[in-house]
Structure 1
Amino acid sequence: MIMAPSIGVPSKRPLEETLVKSPAVNGSAHQDYGHQRSKTRQRRSEGKAIPQALLNALYSESAAAKLWNVAYKALGSVEPPTLYPEYTDKKDFQYIYRALDFWTSGFFPGSLYLLLERQVRFSSTANSGVKPHPLQLQHLCQWWTVNLHQNATIKNTHDLGFMIAPWAMKAWSLHQDSQAYCSLVLAAYSLASRFDARVQSLRSWDVCYTKRYSYDDPSKDFLVIIDNMLNLDLLFWAAKHTGDNSLREIAIVHAKTSQKHHIRPDNTTYHVVNFDVETGLPKSKFTNQGYSDESCWARGQSWGILGFMQTYGWTQDPSFLDTARKLADLFVSKLPEDNVPYWDFDAPVEEASPRDTSAAMVTCCGLVLLYKALKDTEESIAAQHYLDIAMRILNGVVTNYMTPSTPRFKVDTSASTVPTYPENLSEEQQQHGMLTVTVENLQGGLTTGHSLGKYAETILTGATINNYEFAPRRWSDHGLVYADYYFMLLGNMLLEMGLVDVNDLDW
Structure 2
Amino acid sequence: MRRYFLALLLTGLLWNNLAHAQNFKTVVDQALDFAERQSLLMARKYEHQPGVLPRSFEAGKSTISDSRWWCSGFFPGSLWYVYEHSKNPALLAFAKLYTARVEREKFTTDNHDVGFMLYCSFGNGLRLTNDTSYKAVLLKGAQSLATRYDPKVGLIRSWDHNKAIWQYPVIIDNIMNLELLLWASKQSVNEQLKKIVLSHADKTMEHHFRPDFSSYHVVSYNRQTGLPHKKQTHQGYADDSAWSRGQAWGLYGYTYLYRETREKRYLDQAMHIADFLINHPKMPKDFIPYWDYDVPVQTNTPRDASAACIMASALTELSDFVDADTKKKYMEVVEKQIRTLASDEYTAKLGENGNFILMHSTGAFPFKSEVDVPLTYADYYYVEALSRLKKRL
In the alignment, the residues of structure 2 paired with residue 274 and residue 390 of structure 1 have an alpha-carbon distance, to the nearest angstrom, of 33
SS in 2 for 1:484: helix
Q: Is the 8 A contact 1:198 1:278 kept in 2?
A: yes
For the residues of structure 1 that align with 2:135 and 2:164, how far apart are their CA atoms?
34
2:358 equivalent among 460, 482, 486: 460
CA RMSD of the aligned region, Å? Answer: 1.9
What is the aligned partner in structure 1 of residue 372 from structure 2? 477
Residue 95 of structure 1: how far off its partner (Å)? 2.9
Q: How does 1:29-48 map to 2 (within 5 A)?
A: none
- Which of 176, 182, 194 aligns to 2:148? It is 194
Deviations 1:328-387 (A, max 9, x none): 11111221123210000000101110100000000011101111112xxxx211112111
Instruction: Give a deviation string over 1:24-63, Cα, whole Å, max 9, x none.
Output: xxxxxxxxxxxxxxxxxxxxx9x96562453244323x22
**Corresponding position: 1:111 with 2:78:** yes
1:54 counterpart = 2:27: yes
Per-residue CA deviation, residues 250-307 of structure 1 (Å, 9 max, x unaligned), is 1111000100011101111100001001110000100000000000000000000000
Deviation at 1:217, TM superposition (A): 5.2
1:68 counterpart = 2:12: no
Shift of the 118–52 alpha-carbon distance from structure 1 to 2, 3 Å rule, reads: closer
8 Å CA contact 1:50–1:391 kept in 2: the answer is no
Q: Which has the higher helix share?
A: 2
Structure 1 segments unaligned to the other structure (5+ residues):
1-44, 121-132, 208-214, 408-453, 501-507
Corresponding residue to 1:161 among 109, 115, 118: 115
1:146 deviates by 2.0
- Residue aligned with 1:336, SS: coil
Cα pair 2:53 2:72 within 8 Å, conserved = yes
Alpha carbons of 1:75 and 1:238: their partners in 2 closer, same or farther (altered >3 Å)? same
- Counterpart-to-counterpart distance in 2, 1:221 and 1:401: 43
Q: Distance in 2 between matches of 1:402 and 1:347?
A: 21
Query: Residue 336 of structure 1: which of 275, 284, 291 is its match?
Result: 284
Distance 1:168 1:116, change over 3 A: same
The letter of the residue matching 2:176 is: L
Alignment of 1:84 onto 2:53:
yes
Determine whether 1:179 maps to 2:151: no
Q: Is the 8 A contact 2:353 2:359 kept in 1?
A: no
CA deviation after TM superposition for structure 1 residue 66, in Å: 1.0
Q: Which amino acid aligns with 1:89?
A: E
2:293 & 2:26 partners in 1: Cα distance?
28
1:95-136 CA deviation, whole Å, 9 max, x = no partner? 31012111100000111111111234xxxxxxxxxxxx42x2
1:147 CA displacement: 2.8
1:488 maps to: 383
Q: Unpaired segments of 5 or more residues in structure 2?
A: 1-17
**Any conservation in 2 of the 1:95–1:457 contact (CA below 8 Å)?**
no
Cα displacement (A) at 1:76: 3.7
- Give me the whole-angstrom Cα distance separating, in 1, the residues matched to 2:178 and 2:184: 10
Counterpart position of 1:384: 328
C-alpha contact 1:289 1:467 (8 A) present in aligned 2: yes
Distance 2:235 2:24 in 1: 34
- 8 A Cα contact 1:296 1:346, kept in partner: yes
1:369-380 equivalences in 2 (<5 Å): 369-374=317-322, 379-380=323-324
CA distance 1:146–1:51, shift in 2 (3 Å): closer
Give the deviation of 1:455 after TM superposition: 5.2
**CA contact under 8 A between 2:220 and 2:228: conserved in structure 1?**
yes
Correspondent of 1:366 among 298, 309, 314: 314
Confirm or deny that 1:403 pairs with 2:347.
Answer: yes
Distance 2:286 2:85 in 1: 29
Q: CA deviation at 1:183?
A: 1.0
Tell me the SS of whatever aligns to 2:238: coil
- 1:312 is displaced (CA, Å) by 0.6
SS of 2:102's equivalent? helix
Change beyond 3 A, Cα 1:101–1:368: same
Measure how far apart 1:310 and its partner are.
0.8
Alpha-carbon deviation of 1:396? 2.6
Runs of 4+ off more than 6 Å = none
Counterpart residue type for residue 266 of structure 1: D
Partner deviation per Cα, 1:406-438 (whole Å, 9 max, x = no partner): 35xxxxxxxxxxxxxxxxxxxxxxxxxxxxxxx
From 169, 174, 183, the equivalent of 1:223 is 169
Task: Tell me if structure 1 keeps the 8 A contact 2:46–2:52.
Answer: no
Question: When the two structures are superposed, what TM-score results if normalisation uses the length of structure 1?
Answer: 0.70
Aligned to 2:260: 314
285-294 vs 379-388, which moves further: 379-388
- Match of 2:199, SS? helix
CA distance in 2, matches of 1:53, 1:174: 24
Secondary structure in 1 matching 2:220 = strand
Q: Deviations over 1:2-26 (max 9, x none)?
A: xxxxxxxxxxxxxxxxxxxxxxxxx
Q: Give the secondary-structure state (helix, strand or coil) at the position aligned to 1:475.
A: strand
Is residue 405–residue 456 contact of structure 1 (8 Å, CA) maintained in 2? no
Q: Which residue matches 2:12?
A: none
Shift of 1:170: 2.0
User: Does the residue aligned with 1:340 lie in a helix, a strand or coil?
Assistant: coil
Aligned counterpart for 2:251 among listed residues 305, 308, 333: 305
Residue pair 2:244, 2:293 contacting (<8 A) in 1 also:
yes
- C-alpha separation in 2, matches of 1:383 and 1:279: 41
